[in-house]
Amino acid sequence: MSAILDWVRTHPDILWRTSREHLLMSGAALGLALLIALPLGLALAGRRRPAAPILAVVNAFRTVPSLALLVVMLPVLGTGMAPSIVALVLYGLPAILLNTVAGIEGVDRDVVDAARGQGLSRAQIRSRIELPLASPAILAGIRTAAVQIVAASTLAVFVGGGGYGELISAGMGLFEFPQLVVGTIAVALLAGAAELGLAAAERAVSRRAGTEAAT
């Protein structure tokens, strides 16, 4: 344990740089995945014919290893953080998109019909009824995607993306156990923080959605 703490004390610049790179990659990838998946999920919800092929293609990304996605980006975007972020977006997209569609389509149709009977427009039903009730499922998808992206970001080192994967890879290559452990712990802490933070938000939203549904 003392060797691990000594490595942290003697290499704060490396730890800070890799932390910044990992947070930037993960945050940018999750943000872009949200910008793509949420509007697309809202547009596809309830439209089974156009949704089926799109969801099938997106769902196929789940079967592709994350390292393979990174390698595929190399001929197009070269090395560095850009191909890493694009690959991570594709990796995190399915969970958010599928949960958004499932959440909207899972809203009780009786509630929707009652809102329609009260004169609410389609847009009002979507924003006031469906989105609040579907938000726990959507947040669950975001939580899953966030953890997947944080974990998969460690592989970005193989295409020059940096991040905590650099500590793990260098630690393995140089047989430097403290560096390897620091990188592993850092990834686990970041993934755990994303999991716990979004899980707490999901529980809060679920309670609020349950209260609104009851009223």
pLDDT at residue 212 is higher than 60: no
pLDDT on residue 23: 94
Q: What is the pTM of this model?
A: 0.86
Cα angle value 132/136/141 (rounded, 5°): 125
Distance separating alpha carbons of residues 42 and 46, to the nearest angstrom: 9
pLDDT band at 47 (very low <50, low <70, confident <90, very high): confident
Position 36: which residue type? I
pLDDT band at 201 (very low <50, low <70, confident <90, very high): confident
Judge residue 116's burial from the number of C-beta atoms within 10 Å of its C-beta, 0-12 exposed, 13-18 middle, 19 or more buried.
middle
Place of tokens 């620091």: 182
Query: Which structure tokens are listed for 205?
Result: 């939203």
At 27 the three-state DSSP class reads: helix
Alpha helices (runs of H) in the chain, residue ranges in sequence order = 2-10, 12-44, 48-60, 66-77, 81-105, 109-117, 122-125, 131-152, 164-173, 177-214
Contact 87, 73 (CB under 8 A): yes
In this prediction, residues 3-27 reach a mean pLDDT of 91
**Mean pLDDT computed over every residue of the chain:** 86
Greater pLDDT, 193 or 80: 193
pLDDT on residue 211: 60
At 160 the three-state DSSP class reads: coil
In this prediction, residues 35-51 reach a mean pLDDT of 88
What fold is seen in the domain 2-214? MetI-like fold (1.10.3720)
Greater pLDDT, 48 or 41: 41
The domain limits of the chain are 2-214
Query: Which structure tokens are listed for 200?
Result: 């707490």
pLDDT at residue 161 is higher than 70: yes
In this prediction, residues 75-93 reach a mean pLDDT of 85
pLDDT on residue 6: 87
pLDDT band at 120 (very low <50, low <70, confident <90, very high): confident
pLDDT band at 215 (very low <50, low <70, confident <90, very high): low
Alpha carbons within 13 angstroms on the beta-carbon side of residue 61 total 23
Query: Which structure tokens are listed for 71?
Result: 């390698």
Could you tell me the maximum CA-CA distance found in the chain, to the nearest angstrom?
68
Residue 214 Cα distances to 125, 130, 174, angstroms: 17, 14, 59
pLDDT on residue 98: 92
Place of tokens 């905590």: 164
Query: Which structure tokens are listed for 125?
Result: 């039903």
pLDDT on residue 114: 85
pLDDT at residue 94 is higher than 60: yes
Look at residues 157, 148, 159, 160 and name the one whose alpha carbon lies nearest to residue 183. Answer: 157
Greater pLDDT, 91 or 67: 91
